Structures are given as C-alpha cells and as structure tokens.
Amino acid sequence: MQTVRESGDGHVGVTVGELRESGVLARILAQLGPARAASIGPGDDCAVLSSVGDVVVTTDTMIEGPDFRLAWHRGFDLGWKLAATNLSDVAAMGARPTALTVALACPKTTPVALLEEIARGIDAACRALAPGCGVVGGDLGQAPVLTAAVTALGDMEGRAPVTRAGAAPGDTVAYAGPLGLAGLGLALLFQHCSDEEGVAHAEGLPELRERHAAELAAQFAPAAPIGLGVVASEAGATAMMDVSDGLALDAARLARASGVALDLASDVLRGAFGSQQGVAVPLRAMLEGGEDHGLLATFPAGTELPAGFQVIGTVTELGSAAPAAGTAAPAAGTAAPAVGSLSVDGEPYAPGGWDPYNKLTTLGS
C-alpha cells in the first residue's frame, strides 16, 4: 500500500521511503543546473571546483519547526530561502558565490515532489541571485522532521576578504537591500496563521499572501542583493556583513568586531526604507525585523557609494558621541559610546532582533 503525506505545497504522491535514496536523488538532481566553477559535479565522492583566489565557505542549518513551517512554506520558497541565506553570507565577504552543497534529511513519508520543489527553488535562487553558482553535491538522510544543511562556497578572485573588523571612526555606514519587510511578514504569519500555542496552520494563508504579498515574499523568498558584495568590495568597503538577525543586532556585532561604535540616523532610515513596495515599514521593523539578508557595509568618508547602497549612519570615534548623518548633536552629558555599542540619533539603543532561542514575532512602530 502506498503511503502519502501532504506537504506545504499540497503534494501527495510517492514518498521518499518508497522511492529509496537513488530514486530520490535522481529526481532531485534533475531539477538542478550545473555550477560554472565545477569540473566534477554531483555523483562522485567529491565535487571539484576551480578557483582563482581564496575560497570562502559558510554553512547554515534550517529545521522544520524552529526555522520554517511546512504549513506556511511552499517547497519552492523554502529552497529559494535555503540558497539566499547562504549566498548572502558569501557576498558579505566580498566573494562571488560559486557552489552549494545541500544535505537534506526527512521522514520516510515525505513526498518526493516536495524535495523536487525545494531543489527547483534552490536552482532558481542561484540563477537569479548568483548566476553561475549551482549545487555540486550533498547528502540525503532520514530524520524525524525535514532538516536542511547548506554549505556555500565563494571565490575571492584575488580580492582581500571584507570582514566585520575593518570599520574605522569617520567611516560611512551604508545598507543595501530590503529592510524590515521580512520581519513584518513573519509577524503577520504568527498573527493570522498560528494558534494560541504558536502552532502553524494554513487557514487563511492564501488570502494573507494576496493582501500582504510584499511582506510574505520577503519572508519566504528574500531578494538578497548578492551581486553587490563584490561591488562593495571593489568600491573600498572597510567592513561588511549580511543582515540576517536584524539591523540593530548585526550593526552592534560589526561595531564590536571593529572595536568601534555605530550611530544610525532614524530620519534617513525612515526616508529610505519607510515605504517599500507600497508597504509602510515602522522603524522598529527596520531595526529588529531580521531575515531580509541585505548587506551592511562601511566605507571611508567621502567614498561615492555604489548604486544600491544607502547611507544610514556613521562609525563614531570612541570617547566621542558624534551624531549620525542628518542628526542633531547629542545633548550635553550624553555618555560616550562604548566599544561595540549602537546608538540611534546619538541615543544608546539596546539591540533587539532574531535569536534562534527567542524569536521576535511582533513588530510595532
């Protein structure tokens, strides 16, 4: 008797347990395009990649339950997000993404069609966000819930890596990509498509997708500005990182790594990101929403910023309380910024944002 399980896409059909590993892998690999850097791709013990510079590598794991809900996520969207979240880390180093490896573990009752949709989403994200990048290998296993571990590789192509540790006092703080929309999308899902215990359900989800298309698209399939990582590096970025856990939290991390303080300008943030795709985005959502996967970078003062980057503040010198661009000087007696501290309009700001053990689900103004 054939066992079926309905996925988040509504797929029913042959399951992973029935098709077995070789059959499942054949179906998945058929959805994936090649990686330009691979001289040997999937199917051998290892893939072989060519590189002209240092290789960067990053890994991220997503688990059904704490990281995504199949009641909410279509397989294609989940695959896109798996790729985008790792590609953005590669971009944040100033590298060009070259390849992904993907390890999937799932129950035997998982429809193979769901894994095919995930593969199609991964491939589409690579083609759209990082042309030439592709899946070169991975693993398939069994687990109580759907679990994905993606490793992304990138080529520095002779450039020096742009780390979090290079920001200097007087540098301009800039941001590229959507900001706050993904956090609003998550808050809407918890508000309208989960019960009092936080258990996800799909009731009302089609209508929510229609009414809040921009917010949910940003949450499910982030439009990360991957190509701007190399551009920022070539423009002289002194520090850079992917903003996945919220602008405030990640800005404080960059400041701490660089041994400086950052001051952000709320009026600049509101002017640049307060309305996106027809959606009013509150300041708190910009600062704490997370999962937009934009790029936060610092540039030497006076640098002409690459197209796509917006000035949002300044790097302050320790022992001073220099205001961010477009803000008034702080009041007399304001404490000097501490190493790794964050301020908004010259006032200390306690970073909030995404934490895998304490996720934020409400974002007011």
Three-class SS state of 47: coil
Cα distance between residue 237 and residue 227, in whole Å = 14
> Dihedral angle at the C-alpha atoms of 261, 263, 269, 271, nearest 10 degrees?
-150
**Geometric angle at alpha carbon 61, from 56 and 63, rounded to 5°:** 170
Q: Is 89 annotated as a binding residue?
A: yes
Establish whether 139 is an annotated binding residue.
Answer: yes
On whether 80 is known to bind a ligand per the annotation, the reply is no
Strand ranges, E, within 180-303: 239-243, 261-264, 275-276, 279-280, 294-299
Answer yes or no: is 172 a known binding residue.
no
| Residue 361 in marked binding region | no
Residue 54 marked as a ligand binder: no
Is 245 assigned a ligand-binding role in the annotation?
yes
Cα gap 78→8, rounded to integer Å:
10
Alpha-carbon dihedral angle through residues 133, 139, 143, 148, given to the nearest 10 degrees: -10
**CA-based end-to-end distance of the chain:** 54
The answer to whether 88 touches 156, Cβ cutoff 8 Å, is no
Angstrom distance (rounded) from CA 120 to CA 137: 15
Q: Give me Rg for the CA atoms of the chain.
A: 21
Query: Any binding-site annotation on 354?
Result: yes
CA distance 217 to 60: 21
- Whether 44 has a binding-site annotation, put simply, is no
Q: Is 60 annotated as a binding residue?
A: yes
Question: Which residues contribute to the annotated binding site for ATP?
Answer: 138-139, 164, 244
Residues flagged as binding site for substrate: 67, 291, 354
Annotated binding residues, written as ranges, equal 45, 58-60, 67, 89, 138-139, 164, 242, 244-245, 291, 354
List binding-site positions for Mg(2+). 45, 58-60, 89, 139, 242, 245
